[in-house]
Structure 1
Amino acid sequence: MITDFYKSVELLDFDVASANLFGLNNSVLEKKGSRIPEADLMIASLAMANNRILVTCDSRHFRKISGLNFEKW
């Protein structure tokens, strides 16, 4: 059952591009005095690095990140 699930999704790695965006986004948010949890920032940076739309039920942190495509479900 779990094996079937993993076959149906694409797993994305937190790579150098994701890490670079994490640093950039963190710096921008810090300068604005608008920090968010690192886990949310990592998720957002991963989505941005892979040109993906982030789907979330809680957009309050993600809406602070310029250039992030996200949908609230």
Structure 2
Amino acid sequence: MKSKRTGILVPQPIPDTEFITITEHHLNEWLHLLDHLQDVHAPTDQLAYCRNQVTRLQLELYQLRNTNWRANVS
């Protein structure tokens, strides 16, 4: 979409539902990787990094869902 003032293309915001879907997909990939790393007895630092990513994505997903819920209630 072009801006009326400048005629420059302005990026369109992505709806929260798309962010939620993308985050769920990434979380699922990290969970599969974590399972694989545990099965092959990977080094502790790899497991810790993977767990941190899972925790970060779970928090982001919670925040996105909470924000999306608030927007739908209003």
Fold match, TM over 0.5?
Answer: no
In proportion to residue count, which structure has more strand? 1
Higher-Rg structure is 2
Q: TM-score normalised to the size of structure 1? A: 0.31
In proportion to residue count, which structure has more helix? 2
Q: TM-score normalised to the size of structure 2? A: 0.31
